[in-house]
C-alpha cells in the first residue's frame, strides 16, 4: 500500500496563477483533509471531506476550493494564488472521525 500520496512535491507559482494539488489514498478511508503548515502556526485545517461527494470548510478556507469526486482522491485548488498562500500543504485521511489520521509527505508551495 502506498498510503497517502500527494502531487506535486514542490511548486513555484506567480501571483494570480492557479493550480490544483492532488491527494490520493489507497486505504479506503472515508475522511480526507487538507492542512497547511506555517512556522509557529501548527497545522491548520483548510477543508475536509467526510465522504465521496461531500466537503466542508475548516479553519482557513478562504482562497481555496476542494472536490471529492472519487472516494480515493481529494483535490485542493487555488484559483488565484497569493504570496500569503506560500506554505507546506499536507493531505491526510482517516477511516472515520476520531481515528488515526494518515498524512502524506506534503507539497511545498511558493507563491512569488
List of residues contacting another protein (CB under 8 A):
4, 31, 40-45, 48, 50, 58, 90, 92, 94, 96-98, 100-101, 103-106
Q: How far apart are CA 16 and CA 81, in angstroms?
A: 5
CB of 67 to another protein, least distance (A): 18
Question: Cβ of residue 111: shortest distance to another protein, in angstroms?
Answer: 20
Is residue 91 within 8 Å of 74, Cβ to Cβ? yes
To another protein, the closest distance from the beta carbon of 104 in angstroms equals 6
Q: State in angstroms the smallest separation of the CB of 59 from another protein.
A: 8
Is the CB of 4 or the CB of 76 nearer to another protein?
A: 4
The single residue listed with the C-alpha cell 492557479 is 18
Nearer to another protein, 19 or 45 (CB): 45
Select 85 or 94, whichever has its Cβ closest to another protein.
94
Is the Cβ of residue 17 or residue 86 nearer to another protein in the bound state?
86
Residue 57: all three cell numbers together: 470548510
Neighbours of 13 (CB within 10 A): 19
Q: Are 106 and 90 in contact (CB under 8 A)?
A: yes
Give the list of residues 6+ apart from residue 42 with CB closer than 8 angstroms, or none.
Answer: none
Amino acid at each position: 500500500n502506498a498510503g497517502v500520496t500527494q502531487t506535486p512535491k514542490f511548486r513555484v507559482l506567480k501571483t494570480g496563477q492557479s493550480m490544483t494539488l492532488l491527494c490520493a489514498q489507497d486505504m479506503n478511508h472515508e475522511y480526507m483533509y487538507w492542512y497547511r503548515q506555517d512556522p509557529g502556526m501548527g497545522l491548520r485545517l483548510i477543508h475536509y471531506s467526510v465522504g465521496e461527494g461531500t466537503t466542508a470548510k475548516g479553519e482557513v478556507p478562504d482562497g481555496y476550493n476542494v472536490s471529492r469526486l472519487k472516494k480515493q482522491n481529494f483535490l485542493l485548488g487555488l484559483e488565484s494564488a497569493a504570496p500569503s498562500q506560500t506554505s507546506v500543504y499536507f493531505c491526510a485521511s482517516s477511516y472515520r472521525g476520531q481515528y488515526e489520521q494518515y498524512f502524506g509527505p506534503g507539497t511545498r508551495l511558493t507563491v512569488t
